[in-house]
């Protein structure tokens, strides 16, 4: 099996696992406050990643965890995770997942603004088309706009900032150490939400608790598969398979949650994915960069 095929299969596995994680977390928030669900989710994943680091004989926390790049990464991930949890809890899975696919476009724009990247007119047009797709899903008119849709947009901005910070973070940190840091941020994000959404008067029902546990375990699998994918094969070949996440998410949205995405949502999703794929092809699958920061 070629390196490109292995990397592509790992990326598809990661995206399928992330879609499963999202679906189970959304199910869990129907039976417990979103803040409590996020804290539980983060703690379970944190314990798993700490155990993996100890098993590998490495430090749980890399010395670079307090570097400027990693602190900035954690701040963006905190915002992204916080708003993504709210989006999963209160908005349709189909539209949330579609909006999230615009993250590579936001990363490209951020690279232009903050990393000195150079982008040609055709990629500017592609980014504009992608953002039109986002607007079709959000529908920012007084008659059809839902304020909760902003959660997915803010989550996308947070994740894009995280990815930009990751691109300049120390390369010596293992995927396990990054996972530990990421799930710690999840716990903090949940604690931020707890005062707003409260805590249950009694232990959550077993299905809700089980859903959080499954989401966390599958999330660890997804994170590790993504690490393998990005370190195997040609990144220009592997990266476009990120968009398979939307297909899995739409399947869960329709079959599990009974959602019926309308035509504008589907058209918006096609525009986002199409423009994102074009942007990735034009950039060779990499985050654009100018001079080294």
Q: Domain residues of the chain, as ranges?
A: 3-282
**Among candidate residues 212, 227, 232, 242, the one with its CA nearest the CA of residue 179:** 227
CB 10 within 8 A of CB 229: yes
Percent of the chain beyond pLDDT 70? 90
pLDDT at 138: 83
For 211, the 3-state DSSP assignment is helix
Cβ(193)–Cβ(82) below 8 Å: yes
Tell me, what's the pLDDT at 142?
Answer: 60
DSSP letter (8 states) at residue 203: P
* Rounded-to-integer distance, Cα 138 and Cα 126, Å: 19
Six-digit token string for 178: 């990054």
CA–CA separation, 275 vs 126, rounded Å? 5
Q: Please report which confidence band the pLDDT of residue 145 belongs to, taking 50, 70 and 90 as the band edges.
A: low
Distances (CA, A) of 137 to 41, 72, 124, 133, 218: 28, 29, 20, 7, 28
Q: Kindly state the tokens that stand for 212.
A: 């959080």
pLDDT at 116: 74
- Whether 289 has a pLDDT exceeding 50, the answer reads no
Highest mean pLDDT among 93-107, 135-149, 210-224, 279-293 belongs to 210-224
Mean residue pLDDT across the chain: 86
pLDDT at 160 over 70: yes
What's the predicted TM-score (pTM) here?
0.84
Confidence grade of residue 101 (pLDDT, cut at 50, 70, 90): confident
User: Residue 118 is encoded by which pair of tokens?
Assistant: 């150079």
Q: Which of 43-52, 175-184, 241-250 has the highest mean pLDDT?
A: 43-52
pLDDT tier at 236, thresholds 50, 70, 90: low
Q: Where are the alpha helices (DSSP H) in the chain?
A: 3-28, 34-56, 68-90, 93-100, 103-114, 121-138, 149-167, 175-197, 206-230, 235-238, 244-255, 263-282
> Residues with Cβ < 8 Å from 84, sequence gap 6 or more?
96, 100, 151, 152, 155, 158, 159
Task: Yes or no: say if 253 and 93 are a contact pair by the CB < 8 Å rule.
Answer: yes
In terms of C-beta distances under 8 Å and separation of at least 24 residues, what long-range contacts does 113-117 make, across chains too? Answer: 114/164, 115/164, 115/167, 115/168, 115/287, 115/288, 115/289, 115/290, 115/293, 116/289, 116/290, 116/291, 117/288, 117/289, 117/290
**pLDDT interval class at 285 (50, 70, 90):** low
Contacts with 144 (C-beta within 8 Å, 6 or more apart), sequence order: none
Rounded to an integer, the average pLDDT of 103-115 is 80
- At residue 209 the predicted structure's pLDDT band, cuts being 50, 70 and 90, is very high
Q: What is the predicted pLDDT for the residue at 121?
A: 86
- Residue 9, pLDDT above cutoff 60: yes
Contact of 252 with 19, CB cutoff 8 Å: yes
């Amino acid at each position: 099996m070629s390196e490109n095929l292995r990397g592509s299969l790992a990326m598809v596995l990661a995206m399928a696992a992330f879609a499963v994680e999202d679906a189970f977390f959304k199910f869990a928030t129907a039976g417990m406050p979103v803040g409590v669900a996020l804290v539980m989710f983060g703690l379970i994943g944190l314990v798993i990643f700490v155990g993996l680091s100890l098993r590998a004989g490495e430090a749980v926390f890399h010395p670079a965890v307090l570097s400027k790049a990693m602190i900035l990464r954690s701040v963006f991930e905190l915002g992204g995770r916080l708003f993504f949890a709210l989006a999963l809890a209160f908005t349709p899975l189909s539209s949330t997942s579609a909006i999230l696919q615009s993250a590579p476009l936001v990363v490209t724009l951020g690279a232009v603004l903050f990393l000195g990247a150079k982008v040609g007119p055709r990629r500017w047009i592609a980014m504009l088309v992608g953002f039109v797709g986002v607007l079709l899903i959000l529908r920012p008119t007084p008659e059809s706009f839902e304020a909760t849709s902003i959660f997915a947009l803010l989550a996308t901005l947070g994740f894009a900032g995280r990815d930009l910070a990751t691109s300049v973070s120390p390369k010596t940190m293992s995927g396990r150490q990054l996972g530990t840091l990421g799930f710690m941020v999840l716990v903090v994000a949940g604690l931020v939400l707890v005062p707003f959404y409260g805590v249950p008067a009694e232990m959550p029902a077993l299905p809700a608790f089980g859903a959080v546990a499954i989401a966390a375990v599958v999330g660890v699998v997804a994170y590790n598969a993504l690490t393998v994918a990005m370190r195997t094969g040609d990144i220009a070949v592997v990266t476009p398979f990120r968009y398979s996440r939307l297909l899995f998410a739409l399947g869960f949205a329709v079959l599990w949650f009974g959602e019926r995405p309308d035509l504008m949502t589907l058209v918006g999703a096609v525009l986002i994915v199409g423009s994102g794929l074009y942007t990735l092809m034009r950039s060779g699958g990499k985050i654009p960069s100018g001079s080294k920061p």
